[in-house]
Amino acid sequence: MEPYIPESLPLPHLDHQRLFQAVGRANAELARYDGLLQNLVNPTLLLSPLTRQEAELSSRIEGTQASLVEVLEHEAGDTKTGEKGEDIQEIINYRQALSLAQDVLVTPHLLWA
């Protein structure tokens, strides 16, 4: 088996002008999104459903058998025990890890606290 040898950079066949325009549009959209988040009292509410879903889907890859509905029920007070409860806790732990990572990215000094 031969090792993969990537092309040298910068890639000659890229349309840099078109890429710069796309990057400019993406940057404008991110700025608009950031502006919307600045006006929210609690911006994590907007992202919470997405992080729940991401945690559930990623945990499923690792073999958990809990659904998003079961996680929501657990968070509402309908706690499960046994293997199902462990799977739900795994998803909750994943969400907490995502949240901690987000906090550290926003305020890196938290990493050393």
What residue has token string 């309908």?
Answer: 78
End-to-end CA distance of the chain: 47
Confidence band (pLDDT; 50, 70, 90) for 31?
Answer: very high
pTM: 0.57
Question: Who wins on pLDDT, 32 or 42?
Answer: 32
State residue 113's pLDDT score. Answer: 58
State residue 41's pLDDT score. Answer: 82
State residue 3's pLDDT score. Answer: 94
Q: Is the pLDDT of residue 26 over 80?
A: yes
